[in-house]
Amino acid sequence: MTVQPWFPTPIYIDHLEGEELAAAQAELMAMFQAQRLGMARRNSLNESGTHQLTDPNFRCNVLEQYACGQFRHSLMRRVHSYLTQLGIDAAYWASELAVVNSWATLTERGESAYVHDHGNTDISGVYYIQTTGEDGDIWFKTPNEVQSHSYLFQHIPNSQSVKPHVGQLILWPGYMWHGTHINRTDHPRVSVSFNIQARRWYQDRLFPQKNT
């Protein structure tokens, strides 16, 4: 009898390549350069040492604002692949998907992202625009925190790191706690993060369109 890996957390990792990579990089680097000077840390929370963001309040959608259509197309193809591999009928449950917010992040020497989640978002993700692979891994914390109550099972590793690469796209459930390790290099890491929601069948009933 073998141990069964039941109830795993589904994390999706893929890499853009070739012409698709070149198109995404051109769009996203132009987006980053356009907003570089306006980026800021979340000073309201006294988060010194944290990475810099397009909008510390996350009320922005840079993928829409800068018309990053090539990347959005690549992203949605992979979201559907993610759902299909999980056995979710994307055509039914995710017939309409939207990137509800997105923001660029800049992580320089000595900076990191504190552990956090993205609330009730369906799918969250990150894409790496600029990285050496040595400027701070992203890491995920297990959602099965109850294992810490067991004298034995508390010794199961409770986090997993992923080394960043240019063109790498990672998707995960929005409830997953995650952060990044400190960038200990002189190379700034640049990425774009985003939250995706599926349209609910009851939205029109709860929030009817107002006549203008």
- 211 in any annotated domain: no
- 207 in any annotated domain: no
- 27 in any annotated domain: yes
* Total count of domains within the chain: 1
Q: Which residue has the higher pLDDT, 211 or 71?
A: 71
Q: Give residue 107's domain range.
A: 17-200
Whole-number Cα distances in Å, 135 to 24, 44, 108, 132, 180:
21, 26, 8, 6, 10
CATH at 154: 2.60.120.620
- 9 in any annotated domain: no
Condensed to tens digits (0 to 9), the pLDDT of residues 43-95 reads 555 455 688 999 888 899 999 999 999 999 999 999 999 999 999 998 899 99
Q: Which helix (H) or strand (E) holds 196?
A: strand 189-198
- 110 in any annotated domain: yes
CB 185 within 8 A of CB 109: yes
pLDDT of residue 5: 83
| pLDDT band with cut points at 50, 70 and 90 for residue 145 | confident
Mean pLDDT of 33-39: 92
pLDDT above 90: residue 99: yes
- 29 in any annotated domain: yes
- 8 in any annotated domain: no
- 134 in any annotated domain: yes
What's the N-to-C CA distance of the chain in angstroms?
65
- Threshold 0.85, pTM exceeds: yes
For tokens 């990285």, what's the residue? 131
